[in-house]
Structure 1
Amino acid sequence: MHGAPTLSLCSIAMKNLFCCVLLACALTACGGSDDDAPVSDLPTTQPGDPATPPTGEETPAEPEAPVDVPKTYSSFVLPVLPDTQFYSRYNRNIFISQTQWIADHATQLQVPMVLHLGDIVDQAGQNAEWVGADAALKVLEDAKISYSILPGNHDTSNWNQWDDQRTPANEPYLTWFPRSRQETSATFGGMDSTGYNTWHTFTAQGQKFLVLALSWKPSAQTRAWANQVLADNPTLPTILTTHQLITIQDGNAIDPADDAGSGAALWNDVIAPNPQIFLTINGHYHGAAHRVQQNNAGLDVIQVLADYQMDTDGGNGYLRLMEFDLARNTIETYTFSSWLRSKPEAERSYIDEIELADAPDSFTVNMDFKARFSGFNPDFAVPETAGNASYIADAKALVDAANYVLPADPRKPAADDDDYVKVPETSAHWRFVRPSGVAAGDPVQPDAAGEIPDASGKGNPLQRQIVTASNGVTNNAQLNQMVWSDSHHPFSAAKGSICMEGTRELNGDPRIVNFLQTLGGAPLNTETFTGGYTVEAIVRVDGFTEARHRWAKILAQTTRRNQVPGWRHNEEPDGSSVILGISSLKEAQWEVVPNNTATVNQAHFTNWSHELPGETWQHIAVVSDGLNTDMYVEGVKVLRNASGGIGMGVDPAGRAWRVGAGTSGGTLHYGFNGCINEIRLVAKALPPAQWLTARPAQP
């Protein structure tokens, strides 16, 4: 935050001789004290004044009137809208809150234009999502606020096609954002022949800037077009926006390994060779990061990633402001929610932070603009004097985080290992606490020697199985790949866990699947939960990579889908009928073939969480009231839930449940990599006050 300089009344007045004389007549000489002589021989009292104070007491000086110092700025602000796909699909009001906030404050913050990073919608073929996005962006249009927009992978009908390979008739993006709509923006400069790529110019602080907005998978044709735009505007500092460019790993901005959107080609062909491009902004990869790279001329290029779609409610309304202070040579970024202020306090959770005030979400990067641009624009001018205010400071005052009520986390640590709510309807409960006489790090023994008891008392113990091959497929499972640990969730009463290795085949290495399963004849093997259920799993996902760990299973029923009575679908008939797993995007996934599969049109019903943080304990609860099924992660309801499925479909003959693995076509697969603290299945819907992370009510 840039503070205003401290100015005394006299220092301001001295800038104006007449003002100083008036002050001298009214008060005392500038710089004087209470003991100074009077400024004139005029009487110290006038008719009607109160009596003179007793001798020896000075007349108190009148307080100086506050001086309203006008705010001055040497900067401008660009709002950034990261992936809005889930707002368009599930709750357009969040998207509208973002554009309405910008519209309400654009004049105050001197916003020249807004930047959208793509993935406008989640499903390009669903017209209702485009209607939702259209409503949000019309807020900007009605307020006469310019914006750039571009298609992300979710906005296209075929993610694998270059932008010049798409069939225009199959692309709703071109229908909803044609040239005739985009050119109404005052900043619009032009569009390429595909209709997916545009350029804009804006003027701020007396200087002109260029924005290139480039599509998902920009083709060689598009990259050549972008180079021509730059050549036609050779003196303009340029910001390049696109959907995919840099990603994040272990908190650091890196080049993506998959490069599905061809960010490498964009860097090599457009960004690195062109000194004009000083900033790139992209979405697509979940999270936030930034870095500074050097282009071919050795000049800095700031690269920024922002994508909040995996936060609560598809992003919690988080948007970014980027303030470019040309005198201070800084780019300051501030991320906050336009939505949460309107969310009733009773509906807020303890993670609904109205601002993300720290890096990597809010940060400042230095850039000497005049020096950076001197090679192509030697006449680029910056304000001679830095302003005494900042627009981001003004925005923070509008957000008013200090007066936002954030609920406290209601959960409390357990006093002992018995400090949890026992539920009579519990069907099975496995608490992975190392037995007496076993040390942390010791392997979980196979078969009866390492049996995990069922704390419900319903007779569903687990035993470890070490299987070295399944249907001719090698499984490189080893005894020491599943071990006891004392690590556990901070709000679990079970003070321990089992940690296991699991991976898919990769680069010639065999798969590794370590698991436990129920025994033949266990009551749980035939239970269908038609009256509702609650499935809780407390897990920690470790060392996740998509290549090795996608679709890993925490819990799976070994019934195949086509073994569920009434099955009449074609989708993955050999897959497990019930699974709780980790998706390719590290989301928690609950997928079930319901008991009423014969009468529903869906092959399965699926709940998806946000991206789970790695190396951190997470409590997952899946709660079904018999028809509607909701998932919660760390006590917070996820956005993507399901309804219409009743119970869990299983083979009436009874099939085992597995912990840490699933099956594919009857073959052992999808080994989980991480630790498991507890798993519990209950034959009714439970409220949060009865979950494993809650404490029993005190009498």
Structure 2
Amino acid sequence: MTTPSQPPAQTSATAPSRRALLTGGSTAALSGLLAAPALAGAHPAAASEGHGPQGHGKPGRRGPHASPDLQFTLAVLPDTQYLFDDDSIVAEPLVASLKYLRRHRDELNLAFLAQLGDLTESGLPHEMGAFDDAWSIVRRARIPFSTLTGNHDVDSSTTDQRGRTPYLQHFGRSTREPGVLAVSPDGYNTAHAFTAAGREWMVLALDWRLSEAGFAWADTVLTRHRHLPTILTTHDVIHADHGDGVGHLSDYGQDVWDRLIRRHDHVFLSINGHFWPTGRTVMTNDAGHETHLHLANYQQLYYGGAAALRLYRFDLARGVIDVETVVPWLETNEAADCALAREELTLTSDADRFSVEIDFAERFAGFAPEPTPQPRPAEAVLVRDTLAYWRWDQLPTGALDRAARIEDLSGHGNHLEVVSNGRRVEVVGEFHPGQPGHASLAFGGAVKDAGDYLRTVAGAPLNDDELERGYTIEAFFRMPQDWSDRDAWTSLLSRQGSAGEAGGTGGDAEEPVVSLNLSGERQLQFVSYPISQREGLTNWGHELRTDRWWHVAVVNDRKHTTMYVEGCPVARNPHTRNRGLRTLDRRWLVGGYEWDGVLDAVTRTTLGDVRIVGRALSPREFMNQR
């Protein structure tokens, strides 16, 4: 090892009407109305666990409706040399770290453990044997792993052509082992594959010093597996000697960058140890893409760093890697409860706890493009009690024929017809990644109340259905990038007939008896007048990003109504018990919204598949679940 250097809720008496909002009420009034449901609290069905770092030894938990298939953890173990130093061998910190990984394997969705070299101080047989004894925890747990040499594990003046060593005796690998893709002839360089988040990944673990043969071997492996997103690990690439956390290539690191990393676009992350303090940098490779270079090493801290673990938590849904450094030994050893241990080993700086934003689909598109999901047949989406299912991929692309009738694929006769009102609806080949049908409808006119929209045909059974046995209403949608106040409040789906006509109270008498809306602030709003009571209810979503596809589901289980976005319950779901939906035996509108029985707005969203089911579905039954 070289030394381098959110305003209080208004009462119902003072809250503004929804009509005030529709006609451009004040921002303060809007804020008050939005806040009120929040203080009322969320229906218990909406409760979910948080996700994120929770201190030493306690990994963040995924919420019940998170996407575990798109999340995994890569664990990294930097230099432990001071714990395995001749007759001063203290294996307990390493054992604590390895037991931590074994104990929290499922919570972390641990996919791989990468060690960064300098296992020991001098590479002596008994040092390496003691390290291997601790490492048996990893082997017995069958955690996929890689190790590599640091300058303290071998003669630092040699390359990977040095021949047999105690390191190789204990940590030589074979392609007969599961996940081992390749081993260099000398044994010191290894390539490993693991599967996580629906992809295959590679870890390329390289010796402390590559020979010409080593560089050639690594280049060949990278070329042969150029379709695999790759994390390159080796002992020496960057240092952060200035202490500001900014990484710089070392002399040898420059060779590794020039000869391997920059030339192979699929190497998106490199992690090394060796130097201290910790640091990181981002460089641009020959393909013009960002490559992240990280230095993780804690041996200079109390107790030789106590086998600190760097956890890389990949989340492909969010497009981020959340990085956290933990020291499990602090939670398992009484001797570690001293002031110095807590002072030195509480690792919360920007260099030890940070996030890396990566659009994985875009970054990997050049070598491992995501396969386009195949459309699902309508039969696969017709769950029990489906009342209406509308999709658009059986229509010709382009302007929707105003004489067209869109078939209700549920077989219940709830067909749709076009209402001519200005700009025509366009059928486009765009869709949410989880959408069964691979086409959508692009609505929107030059003015808010202009533009074609759809409605259920006269006599459709859905028109007078009160859905008293519960219901689930689902839709996929995307707002244009220039979404603004002019788009408030437009509906994805609504029901003709005003609340006042239906005997509803507590809201605006002129508003529809049912509407699934979007605000100018890009928040979903479900307004309903249940058959179980005269007073209207409102579910509120949160602010959504434009130019992105979303899935919304509104579920009533005959007790409560809960809104879900991307399968996750929102916070502002009312506690009030309610059942069914009022109807005046009039039509449902797709893309249109009436105020006091007159068309008020046409949405500018792009709308995907829409389904209405006559019972409450669980999130696992939603259309976005493939």
Please give the TM-score of this superposition, normalised by the length of structure 1: 0.43
The higher relative CO (CA closer than 8 Å, separation ≥ 6) is in 2
